[in-house]
Amino acid sequence: MQINQVQGPNFGMALVISPEGKKFLQEHATGKVLSELKKSGVKLADTLYWDLKVKADGFKIARKYSDKEYTLDKAVLVPNSSKIDLSLSGRDGILDEYLYYSNAAEAAQAYSKLNSENGVPALTEVINKLDREYGNKMLITDYDTMRAVSRNERIKSEKINDLVSKYGGK
pLDDT per residue, tens digit, the chain (170 aa), is 444 333 444 455 689 999 999 999 999 989 999 999 999 999 998 888 889 999 999 999 988 877 888 988 888 999 989 999 988 888 888 888 888 888 999 999 889 888 876 689 889 988 888 888 766 555 545 545 555 555 557 677 788 888 888 877 66
> End-to-end alpha-carbon separation of the chain, Å?
38
Q: What's the number of CA atoms in the CB half-sphere (13 Å) around residue 61?
A: 25
CA-CA-CA-CA torsion sign (136, 46, 162, 64): positive
- Quickly list DSSP for 38-106: HHHHHHTTT-SSEEEEEETTEEEEEETTSS-EEEEEEEEEPTTSSEEEEEEEETTEEEEEEEE-SSHHH
The pLDDT score that the predictor gives to residue 76 is 92
Nearest to 75 by CA among 36, 48, 101, 103: 101
Q: What is the pLDDT of residue 45?
A: 86
pLDDT at 12: 54
